[in-house]
Amino acid sequence: MAKPPRTEEGWYALHDFRTVDWDAWRAAPDRERERAVEEGVAYLEEHEAVADAEEGASAVFSVLGHKADLMVVHFRPTLDALSAAERRFESTALAEFTDQSTSYVSVTEVSDYVSDEYFDDDGEETDEGIRRYIEGKLKPDIPDTEYVSFYPMSRKREAGQNWYTLDYDERSELLSAHGDIGREYAGKIKQVIASSVGFDDYEWGVTLFGGDPADIKDIVYEMRFDEASAEYGEFGPFYVGRRFPPTDLGAYLDGEQVPTGEHESGGRPHGDADVHGEGAHHHGGGEGGSGGGHPHADDGDEHHGDAGDADDAEEESIRAELEDLDIYAGKPHGEDVFATVLYSEADPDELFEEVEGLRGNFDHYGTHVKTAVYEGGGARSAPDQSSEKGTDSRDGEADRAAVVSIWETANAAETAAGFLSDLPGIVERAGEESGFGTMGMFYTVKPEHRGDFVEKFEVVGDTLEGMDGHHETDLMVNREDENDMFIASQWASKEDAMAFFRSDDFRDTVSWGRDVLADRPRHVFLA
């Protein structure tokens, strides 16, 4: 008998599909329709706020085509909680105008394809990055990215084509190649895979979230040519839709386009990102801080390899190490935010004028946190990098500026980057052709200590110049606020960068900085 993978289960999932009886809706008196909308909104808001349980997530999506009109997704710690959520809907006036066309029940899980040591050691000695990745898979969130695709799938069990008779190593190898394709969609697609063995008609339920529906189509299409899918995949019906806030339920039933953009859900508008345009390329990492060590699919792992899992796992591990050094690292790109950094050699005045114009548009959207131009003035390059990078480690001037754009969602950051990449003189994005990439740190300095901070950077810069793997470090100043500084430090590898953060020089700097900074370093992001 072939070796089955060990698994651990997490939250239970219900995909509740509803069709609207449009004839009954049109014929109903206004008072009945108003009551149905009111109770429907209250139900959806209550469940998105997870008022019915200690943990979980819920969201509502409009569905295109004849198979359903609405999809309500629930993740809850217990099967009983899902049952209560499903029955609670039936008690609303809205339920009188809908039928449950279909549903899908499953449970999130991970297997030892991800990490043998997690199962061998009961998670106690597992690498911190892997442990956090596993927790993210067992307790998934629902991202704010607009579009969704759901489908069930199984592995073939036919004579001569039986997935379950393959040995463990062969399955692992097939899934490794499968995951390589998925990682090409880092920052574009987030997925939740849940096992439905014994619960529903297929073996897994796959939910793909993305800001561009074409990305959803592309990842599924490319996977069809991979051996794991081409030889062994069997797929059920597909459902595609778009998330909207509960407050837009009335607009949806009135035939308006949703999300309308007039309402917010949980303080986070849906649909912000796609207004920025297409063609953006998100720098470094996936969405919302999940990561993994060996991102294989099968038996509850990622069917598409969870784009970017391997990179995210490394980021999780780095952030854990930074926390051990008393450095707040937040999420992959900051404190609950996501950032894009580009460098430009254009005239600073010209660059700022262009950025100011874009920023005026960005400010219309609730997910925009900040976009600013930082001018270099303290570059520190390794001796063999100076001529290549165009800086001198002793002249105190850098010939490039950094454009930093910070957003509340990864999708918004990546789409904004599409516009920013068209700025004049763009020569490099953080992480492109620069080894490990940029570790970016933002500091707000007390005005009376600004000079001390700059001097301290020069001292630290002397240490950096002699370190292995150090490419360049710039102390860059916000053009509009001289006390807002951004240190962009580029390294050849994670190991090289972490050597500096473990050094006595850096520890001394952290201790010293408590007196001169207006607050703790706001962001540490890893490109």
DSSP string, 193-256: EEE-TTTSSSSEEEEEEESSHHHHHHHHHHHHTSHHHHHHEEE---EEEEE--GGGHHHHHTT-
Structure-token pair, residue 253: 């039933």
Cα–chain-centroid distance for residue 140?
A: 12
**Catalytic residue selected from 12, 104, 113, 151:** 151
Question: Can you give the length of the chain in residues?
Answer: 527
Nearest to 338 by CA among 409, 429, 278: 409
Contact 67, 94 (CB under 8 A): no
Compute the distance between CA of residue 311 and CA of residue 469 in angstroms, rounded to an integer: 19
Nearest to 141 by CA among 248, 290, 264: 290
184 three-class SS: coil
Which element (helix H / strand E) includes 136? helix 128-138
Burial class (CB in 10 A: 0-12, 13-18, 19+), 172: middle
Whether 151 sits among the annotated catalytic residues: the reply is yes
Please identify which residue in the block is written with the tokens 């409009």.
62
Contact 286, 312 (CB under 8 A): yes
Residues 6+ apart with CB under 8 A from 322: 328, 329, 501, 524
Backbone conformation region of residue 84, classed left if phi is above 0, alpha if psi is from -120 to 50, else beta:
alpha
Structure-token pair, residue 470: 């150090």
Q: Which residues are catalytic?
A: 151
